[in-house]
Amino acid sequence: MSEKKEPPLDRTPMWTLDELCAKLHTTPATVHTWRKRGTAPKAYRIGRHLLFEEADVRAWLETRAATPDHKSRSGTDSGW
């Protein structure tokens, strides 16, 4: 009779700091700056390592989605 294995954690994939940086085309220093400012995606510290859940990163990106800006700073339509 074999032992029953526990199911995997009910989470989306986790990314290391290096994997996150590669996906966002940024550096670890930038991510650390975001963390100091409180603007980085949610991270989990496991020992000395930071892990980022894919769903958290995607949600964080959604809050930063660029929206078209068709108005100039003066509030008039720039025509662009």
pLDDT at 20: 98
pLDDT tier for residue 5 given thresholds of 50, 70 and 90: confident
Apex 52 CA angle, 35 and 54, nearest 5: 130
Distance CA 51, CA 4 (A): 28
Contact in structure between 31 and 15 (CB atoms under 8 Å): no
Q: What is the CATH number of the domain that holds 22?
A: 1.10.10
Q: Which has more pLDDT, 75 or 23?
A: 23
Contact in structure between 49 and 16 (CB atoms under 8 Å): yes
17-71: per-residue pLDDT in tens?
A: 999 999 999 999 999 999 999 999 999 999 999 999 999 999 999 999 987 765 5
Q: Which domain holds residue 21?
A: 14-62
Distance of CA 64 to the CA centre of its chain: 10
> How many domains are contained in the chain?
1
38 Cβ contact list (under 8 Å, min separation 6)? none
In a domain, 30, yes or no: yes
pLDDT at 69: 67
